Each structure stands twice: as structure tokens, then as C-alpha cells.
Amino acid sequence: MEFQFEPASFPWLTVSIVLPLIAAGILFFLSERFAKPISIVISAIVFVISTWMLFAYDYSHYAIQFYEKYNWIPQFGVSYEVGVDALSLTMFWLTALSFLISFIWSVNIKKRVKEYFIAFLVLEAACIGVFVAWDMVWFYIFWEAMLIPMFLIIGVWGYAERIYAATKFFIYTFFGSLFLLLGVVGMYVYQYFHTGKLSTSYFDLANLGLPFNLEIIFFLLLALGFAIKVPMWPFHTWLPAAHVQAPTAGSVILAAVLLKMGTYGFVRFSLPWFPEASKYFIPVMFTLGVIAIIYTAAMALAQQHIKRIIAYSSVSHMGFVTLGTFALNVEGMNGAIITMISHGLTSAALFLAAGWIYERSHSYMLKDLGGMAKYVPVFATFFMISAMASVGLPGLSGFVGEFLALLGTFKTNVWFAVLAGIALVVGAGYTLRLYHKTMFMEELVDSKIIHKWRNTRDMTASEFLSFLPLIILMFVIGVYPKWWVDLINTTSLSILSKFIGG
């Protein structure tokens, strides 16, 4: 594979990574009341940078843009290397957006405010780093560094069983990432022995020309790391636990950003690096994807806990991404990437909604809820739109991605597409059940519960502000997907160049 680079005129990406870190460092020494404004301003700046880059990115041809490279550990051929293509860029933008929203949402937080915002700022830097790094050592540093703040966020600000959930999350992901590291080190060593080159750069490792059996081994090692992060069935058990226990903003980041790292890993590394192994494993990945979609959709139908329902729906949506990715055609790939973006928006919105409900009712259980819609019309509308986008109603963002992913799957294997299509119906089932049981059914709910809603306040300004951009974007993507498809199309073609000869 040949890569083109367009160096950045100003190190925007580095600034976006360093800015939150500096802010976190400064906050450590400042008093608590600065925490909120500083975090919001910093994340807003990062979001503005990422949005500007979204428009400045030239998608007419494939090139690594805003590219920066500096020598770092010359003994091992490690350099600091960041840049974006459309995939990285959209993920970077999604990260910046999610963090901005989480910060705005978190203005009500009361427990250990300063540490909370410091943890989130560090997390933001690490998450951005994962998506823009092109050197494997840096990629791994960001990938792992992210665990520390997330561990603390779940463990300190979570609910009753938070420590169990945080530890489970950490150990699961750490397990996967160490095997990922083993795979990358193996490739690095192979490269050294066969070409004499010492380099950890993505672009060098992409041109190794591994023999088939090694491809299989390395594919499996890397896939273990990514699959746990996605999470794919059967590695998903950490996710419901983590989501249920995490604070609202933590859940938002977990769903909108962290889960994308796994699928990002598959798209970015597994396909271009191991084309033969990827083809070889299509049946396996398809099966796992379809199991994820159907099994977790069924699980979601049986849950009582709102966050658990949304968590299982995330696993289910990630199944579509897996299908789209391993369909190995342009439609599937575009569909996978758009589903990633769309799921970032909808799951963030749904978790915000769950958090909103909990703040009013102090319960996540469906049996304690119901009949709210009449009393909180604005929230009910927003929640409805998010739920519909998540289900995949045409005109909203979820439809575009899932349709393209299914189309791609259909071209590769009809049966898997049919199975996944059936699961879409189940998906509509559990999301509608969630909405129905929380918002409607006034006549079936205990009057004491209804009584609570009478004095409930509809959305506050900060809640409204954090919801609004998500809703707008769901419409934007749903109504005019062409711009997004254009944006990522060249990238998809480049990623698939080993499969479709483009």
C-alpha cells in the first residue's frame, strides 16, 4: 500500500491532545470552582478544532492529512506520528463532541468535582490520541492510558457495585490489550528480521507481506484485543456491568467513544494488515456479529434496568458494525463507519435520557417508571427522537448506517443479512418497550408514581444544551447522508484496496 501525506501547517492534533492534559494539570492546583468552566471551555476549543478539520479535510483523494511526525526513540524506530484520514477524523470529531456534551451535562455533579473533571480531561486526551496516532507504540500508550481515568470514573463516581464493575472493566480490557501488544511486537520483530527495518509506524507494518500462517496468528492476537473492546459476543459481559455502574457521563463516553475503539481497530488494522486472514475469518466474524445482534437483542428484551437495556442494544449495534466491516465491500464499510458515528450519537442521547430519568425518579428500574410523557413534553420528544434514531427509522441517522451495512452484508452473504435483518425487528421491539414503559402506560402505573411526575421539572438549560446537538446531528445525518458518505468514501476504498483492487 502506498500512502500520501499532507503535513499540517500547524500541529492541530497535538494541540487537541495536549490541551486537555495541560488543563487537567492546572486544575490539580486550582480550587474546585474553576473545574467546570475550564473543562467546558477546553473541550469546546477541541470540538471547534475538530469541526473545523472536518470541513478542511480534503476528501477528493485519500491522504493522511494534518500529518505530524517527530523522532522519539530512534533506537527502536519509534516516532511520534499523528494524522487523520476520514475515519480517524470522524472518530476524533465524535470524541470531541461526546466530551463536550458530557462536560455540559456534568455541571450538576457534586461529589469530588475537581477530580471528576481531571479524570475526564485526561480521558479525553487519551481517547483522541487513540484515534489519531499512527505509530503503534503511541497508539498503544493512548489505548492503555485510557484505562486509568475510566477505571477511576466508574469506580469513584459510580453506583453501588461500582468497584466490581470497574475492576472487571479494567481486567477484561487489559487482558485484551496485552495480547494486542504481543501481536504488534511480533510483527515488529518479524519486520526487523525480514527487512532489517526498525519501525513501529503503521505505514511500514502495513506493507509486511506476512505469510498466511503468521497472518492468522497476528490477526487472532489483535482481534482478541479489539473484540473485547467492541465488545463482541462472547466478550461482552463487562459492558452491561460497567454501563450500569458508571455515572451518566461515564456511560456516554463508554458507549460513544470507547466502544468505537474496538471497531476502529478492526477497520484500521485488521483489514489492511491481514487481508488473507480477514477473508479467511469472514464466516467466524459474521457468525459472532449475528450472534451479538440476535442474542443481545433478546437479552435486552428481558431486562428491567434501563441502562442495561441500552448497554445490550450497544452490543447489538456493534454487531452491525462488525458485519459491515467484514462484508469487505464499500457499502458495508461506509455503513459500518456511519453506524459507528450514529451509534455514538444515539447511545449518548439514550444514556443521557437514562441519567435524566434517574435524576428525577432515583430509579433505573422499569417497574418504578411509566407515564411520564405528559408531564415532561420536551424530554419525551427528545427521548423519542433518540429512540427512533437508535431503532433505525428512515430520516434519522441510525437508518443510513444499518441499511448500508446490511446492503454490504447482503452482497457477501445473503443468509447472514437475512438473520441480521430479522434482528432489526427485535431491536425495534426492545427500544419501543423501553420508551413505552417509561413514558407511556399512564393508566397501568401506580398512582403514587404518577404523582411524582406532576412536580417534575422538565429539562434544565444544561440538559437541554447537551441534548440538542445530538438531536440535530441525528437529523442531519439521516436527512442528508450524502455528505458523510462522500467524506468517508475515499477512506473506505483505501482501506479495502487489498480486497476490491481499488
Partner 1 sequence: MSIIEQLVSAVGVPNFGVLIPEIIVLITAFIVFFEELFSKNRILISATTVIGLLLSLLSIFTIKQGDLTLYGLYVVDGFSLLFKLFLLISTIIIVATYRRYFESKDIYFGEFYYLTLFALLGMMIMVSSPNLFTFYVGLELSSITTYILVGMFKTKNKKLKDFDYKSKEGAFKYLIIGGAGTAVISYAIALLYGASGTFDFMEISRAALNDANIGLIAGMVLLVLGLALKAAAVPFHHWAPDAYEGAPTPITTFMAVAVKIATFALILRVMVEAFPFISKDWALVWSILAALSMTVGNFIALRQKSIKRMLAYSSIAHTGYITAALAAPTGMGFAAFIFYTLVYIFMSIGAFAVLTFLEKTEGWNNTFDDFKGLAKRSPLIAIVMLVFMFSLLGIPPTVGFFGKLGVFLALIGSDIWWLAVVLVVMSIISAGYYLRVVSVMYMYEPVKNISFNINGVEKSILILMAVIVLILGIYPTVFWGISTQMSSLLIAGIGR
Q: Which residues bind partner 1 (CB under 8 A)?
A: 72-76, 115, 137, 140-141, 144-145, 147-148, 151-152, 155-156, 162-163, 166-167, 170-171, 174-175, 178-179, 181-182, 185-186, 188-189, 192
Nearest approach in angstroms of CB 216 to partner 1 is 15
Sheet holding 64-73, edge to edge: 5-7, 64-73, 78-84
Phi, psi of 461 (to 5 degrees): -60, -45
Nearer to partner 1, 235 or 320 (CB): 235
Rounded least distance, CB 145 to partner 1, Å: 5
CB of 71 to partner 1, least distance (A): 9
State the minimum distance, in angstroms, from the CB of residue 28 to partner 1: 8
Are the C-beta atoms of residues 119 and 149 closer than 8 Å to each other?
A: yes
Q: From the CB of 130, what's the least distance to partner 1, in Å?
A: 12
The 3-state secondary structure of 163-218 reads HHHHHHHHHHHHHHHHHHHHHHHHHHHHHHHHHCCCCCEHHHHCCCCCCHHHHHHH
* Contact between 423 and 343 (Cβ < 8 Å): no
Q: How far is the CB of 72 from partner 1 (least distance, A)?
A: 7
Task: Give the orientation angle of helix 86-105 with respect to helix 12-29, to 10 degrees.
Answer: 20
Q: Please report, as a single letter, which amino acid is at residue 2.
A: E
Single-letter amino acid code for the residue at 272: P
- Using the minimum distance from each CB to partner 1, give the nearer residue, 5 or 72: 72
The closest alpha carbon to 62, from 89, 95, 93, belongs to: 89
> C-beta of 166: minimal distance to partner 1 in Å?
7
The residue count for the chain: 502
CA distance 299 to 285: 20
DSSP 8-state class, residue 23: H
Min dist CB 196 to partner 1, Å, is 13
Between 66 and 139, whose beta carbon lies closer to partner 1?
139
b/e 439-461 (16+ beta carbons within 10 angstroms → b): bbebeebeeebbebbeeeeebee
The distance of closest approach from Cβ of residue 379 to partner 1 in the complex, given in angstroms and rounded to an integer, is 32
**Closest by alpha carbon to 342, among 386, 395, 401?**
401
Nearer to partner 1, 222 or 424 (CB): 222
**By C-beta, is 183 or 427 nearer to partner 1?**
183
- What is the distance between the alpha carbons of residues 26 and 302, in angstroms, rounded to a whole number? 46
Cross-strand partners of 305: 365
Per the CB < 8 A criterion, the answer to whether 371 and 440 are in contact is yes
Give dist(CA 318, CA 405) in Å, integer: 11
Rg value, the chain, Cα: 22
Report the DSSP pairing between strands 5-7 and 64-73.
parallel
Residue type, 220: L
Could you tell me if 361 and 433 are in contact, meaning their C-beta atoms sit under 8 angstroms apart? Answer: no
| Amino acid, single-letter form, for residue 228 | I
Task: Give least dist CB 187 to partner 1, A.
Answer: 10
**Nearer CB in complex with partner 1: 182/291:** 182
Judged by CB, which is closer to partner 1: 72, or 499?
Answer: 72
Residue closer to partner 1 by CB (options 171, 302) is 171
State residue 220 phi and psi, 5-degree precision: -65, -40
Q: Would you tell me how many other CB atoms lie within 10 Å of the CB of residue 77?
A: 19
User: Of 155 and 240, which has the nearer Cβ to partner 1?
Assistant: 155
Closest distance to partner 1 from the beta carbon of 381 (Å): 37
Residue 144 or 442: the one with the smaller Cβ distance to partner 1 is 144
| Identity of the residue, 110 or 448, whose beta carbon is nearer to partner 1 in the bound complex | 110
Give the β-pairing of 5-7 and 78-84.
Answer: unpaired
